[in-house]
Structure 1
Amino acid sequence: MHSQRFTAESSSDGMVERDFTVGGVPGVLWSPASGTEPAPLVLMGHGGGHHKKHPAMAGRARLLVTGRGFHVAVIDAPGHGDRPRSAQDERDVAELRRAQAAGAPEGPIVVPYNARLAELAVPEWQATLDALQELPEIGADGPVGYFGIGLGTAIGVPLVAAEPRITAAAFGMNWPDALFETAKRITVPIEFAMQWDDERIPREAALALFDAFASTEKTLHANAGKHFDMPRFEADSAVRFLARHLGRPVTSPA
């Protein structure tokens, strides 16, 4: 079992930020500044090319921590953030950049790249969850959710399928190719967001991934616009969804 080590701590506006490592994997845990009772934990996956403290991660964490009293944890995916890229990472990224410059489809490159990262990241996430649940403010029996878009979905789908401790998940914006069979094993409540005019992920591909989930409760949010046009209110919706399923009352207007 990997032990957790906190390496830095700061606080602002009701939220405590603690950097940590588990088995050499760097992460961050955001928690309410007040209150010592156990609270739900949300694991968040960052997007491709981003890192654990990307503004999108910090912003979503603030909604969950100061708005709902949750704990939120993010770890750097392999080859991202404070983790060095392997030679294979460098080759994959270079190939992706060439495809983007040529206007070629990205899926044939991104799908196997993300699948390779997910194979490495899922056991890292499970070790991180083991360590976090040893903290008294989280506990071994508290509810756990997951929230990840893009690469966060590519890693999150196999993680949620493998991890019975996760009881609700918000996903979105990914290809089904490497995830279709795994999604069939997921039965927990799902909220899934997509962009109807996504120039990277074909509409039919996004719909196929949503359809693959075996969850009896699953909700699709399809927004007009291209890949980077996802409305910010989708983060608010995911927070309400997770609050509903992890045991915190939803007080915001519907």
Structure 2
Amino acid sequence: MRFTAETTSDGVTERLFTLGDITGALWSPADAAGDRPLVLLGHGGGQHKKAPPLVTRARHYVTVCGFTVAAIDVPGYGDRPRLELDQKLTPALRRRVASGQQVDPEITRGMAERAAKAVAEWQTTLDALQDLDGIGTGGPVGFWGVSLGSSIGVPFVAAEPRITAAVFGLTSHRSVGEAAGRVTIPVEFVLQWDDELVPRESGLRVFDAFGSQEKTLHANPGPHSAVPPFELESSARFFLRHLVK
């Protein structure tokens, strides 16, 4: 892991890093000593590791909870090279996906390949992060990601025993249903009742599929992009319950 930039403001230190082809950001309390819980953030479609909502969330978890927080760019996003796949994901195709219609097998295959690569990159990133002072191997790790962040995050968490608790949402059963059954850690799941991209029934099936003994559904009215701001505080309380001993 190579750090390429560092800034500190309002008690939060932000460091940008590269790890092979992976580009990421790390936020931590300024001048803090000792190991602390780590929360990984998965960005949504069309976003990146430093999208304003993600930075706001990262700084909240650092200042309110005392966590260290990390995010990486999914292949094709942020500082990563664009993919041909993204040229094909037109609004019309997105509508077809949301309505459950058949899509081009090449597109479906490409999305699955990107998700598989992103899962492997998250595991590589977690390995490197746990070698850093202030995090440490064996400490509690949380994952937050909705929409694309869940499409990648659910299979990542299903395959990664180091994750202690996770917040997911805004994703379809067709995308993550099989992997959700292998997730057994505590889960908070966000669902928008009037989601125009993920049919309500599909989101509810994802929640039902999780194998967790502790799982909570947060359903709010409104479209895909209208998750209420108070869900940020709710997720912080959730992580404090499960990551702080």
Deviations 1:38-93 (A, max 9, x none): 000000000001000001110111110011110000000010001112223323x2
Matched AA of 1:226: P
Moved more, 79-88 or 138-147: 79-88
Task: Name which of 224, 229, 232 aligns with 1:232.
Answer: 229
Aligned-residue sequence identity (percent) comes to 54
Name the CA distance, whole Å, in 1 between partners of 2:111 and 2:150.
Answer: 10
Matching residue of 2:56: 59
Matched AA of 2:81: P
- Is it true that 1:172 corresponds to 2:169 in the alignment? yes
Give TM-score, length-normalised by structure 2. Answer: 0.93
Q: What is the root-mean-square deviation of aligned Cα atoms in Å?
A: 1.6
Matching residue of 1:5: 2
Give TM-score, length-normalised by structure 1. Answer: 0.90
Matching residue of 2:92: 98
Matching residue of 1:30: 27
- Is it true that 1:245 corresponds to 2:239 in the alignment? no
Matching residue of 1:117: 114
* Contact 2:165 2:239 (8 Å CA) reproduced: yes
Matching residue of 2:210: 213
Name the CA distance, whole Å, in 1 between partners of 2:92 and 2:219.
Answer: 29
Deviation at 1:202, TM superposition (A): 0.8
Change in Cα spacing, 1:170 to 1:69, as seen in structure 2 (3 Å) is: same
User: Helix, strand or coil for the counterpart of 2:225?
Assistant: helix
Moved over 6 A (4+): none
Deviations 1:69-128 (A, max 9, x none): 10000000010001112223323x2xx23346xx65545558765433211101101110
Matching residue of 2:151: 154
Change in Cα spacing, 1:157 to 1:203, as seen in structure 2 (3 Å) is: same
Matching residue of 1:20: 17
* Contact 1:114 1:151 (8 Å CA) reproduced: no
* Contact 1:28 1:75 (8 Å CA) reproduced: yes
Gap runs ≥5 in structure 1: 249-254
How many residues end up aligned between the 2 structures? Answer: 240
Moved more, 178-187 or 216-225: 178-187
Name the CA distance, whole Å, in 2 between partners of 1:191 and 1:9.
Answer: 32
Change in Cα spacing, 1:232 to 1:17, as seen in structure 2 (3 Å) is: same
Task: Name which of 156, 160, 164 aligns with 1:163.
Answer: 160
Matched AA of 2:140: P
Matched AA of 2:211: A
User: Helix, strand or coil for the counterpart of 2:234?
Assistant: helix
